Amino acid sequence: MSDRLARALDRASGARPIPGNALRHLPDSAAALDAMLALIASARRTVHFENYIIRGDRTGRRFAAALAERARAGVRVRVLYDAFGSLGTRRRFWRELRRAGADVRAFRPLWTSGPFELLSRDHRKLLVADGGEAMLGGLCIGDEWAGDPARGRMPWRDTMVSVRGPAVAALDRTFARVWARAGPPLPEADLAPAPPARGSSVVRVVDGGPGLSRAYRAVQLLAAAVDAAKSGVDVRLLLPGTSDIPVVRTFTRIGYRDLLRAGARIFEYRGPMLHAKTIVADREWARVGSTNLNVSSLLGNYELDVLADCDSLSEALAAQFRHDQAQSREIVLMERRRLPARLVRATAPVAPPHKRSRRELRAAAVVALVQVAGGARRMLAGAAAGVLAVAGTLLLLFPTVTGAALATVAFSAALGLAAYALARRRRRRQTDGA
């Protein structure tokens, strides 16, 4: 990475380069969960555990047992969960952890937070043990990520990365900052000094928060640095598979055409739910973390990512991308005479689709609905812009006539709404009287 790009990246991400780290790529969700449990079991002084979703299912109980065992052994265990993400977890789950001696906090409980605070969630996934090793990425704590081979349920596709070296201290301090937003701050003595160098990788810890847009600026800068698809760079996007319902599929694919015309290639994953949030560019740098490429993650939530100058991690991510691509279907543009180009599946052979469980289908439906809502908002915004532009033009050209017309429409709407309200009130009185 050039010095000029590195300095620009420092400013964009609000992060300093931390050399001397060893990184380990964990692309298998079930194996990553086992590695997290092993890291908890190895702790002798502190465990700092933060996650958006911690369920009370079999996987959640495994983590609760591991955390409780360390707390009973005298390890200072701190657990921070998001109140919205973990909404379905029963109070008894947290109560038993507290009885074991763990310090458990909910981030922004729904009934005691303000309306704007409710929109900013703690979407981070972080585990730090003894200030010496950290794990972060996209994994939440639930059976979806563990899978169930006996019932033919494959684990969700997600990615975690293990960090050892001086960057662990920076990750631990990001935990302390969010922990302090949910209660009293951590004692300074419980934040270990930076450990010695363990490798040759340079890491930037991107600590995202509401309005900071650090990950957003970093991704934009790196995309601009490689000059993206229009300059002949091989740009490939691997996205969760969309619905087979034609109307839903049309909405979720809004935005594909511009990317495809620019030269990018788009693949939709056909395996289990794709939950990983990774980027690799030029086999030189990699990004792994919790940040989705949507408005809530980039601008609204508390997120955590690492940007790494690490050849081994970049190579591992590129290899995993190729593996996932082989289980995906490519979406291409089919040009049509006198009609807009149509999005179709490529004819190249692909792996058979994975049969999703009921929980996966629900999660995929949520993803599709979010994408549909985003597409609908864009369409409505475009229509509203057109209507307002026409109204503004008419007001400039024919102010008197247009003003009178708008006033008539406004008064008519007011009278109609008033009549509707009176009719509803009269009907309710008649119903109450009966």
What pLDDT score was predicted for residue 80? 98
The amino acid that residue 249 corresponds to is R
CB atoms under 10 Å from CB of 4, counted, come to 9
CA distance 82 to 66: 20
| Mean pLDDT, the chain cut into blocks of 10 residues (434 residues total) | 76 91 97 98 98 97 98 98 96 97 96 83 97 97 91 91 98 97 94 94 94 83 65 85 59 77 88 91 89 85 94 95 94 73 63 61 55 52 75 83 84 82 68 50
Indicate the DSSP class of residue 191.
S
What pLDDT score was predicted for residue 127? 98
User: Checking DSSP bridges between strand 236-240 and strand 46-51, what pairing results, if any?
Assistant: unpaired
What pLDDT score was predicted for residue 211? 83
What pLDDT score was predicted for residue 372? 47
CA distance 42 to 120: 33
Assigned token pair, 415: 């009278």
What is the chain's alpha carbon radius of gyration, rounded to the nearest angstrom? 25
pTM, 2 dp: 0.80
What pLDDT score was predicted for residue 247? 55
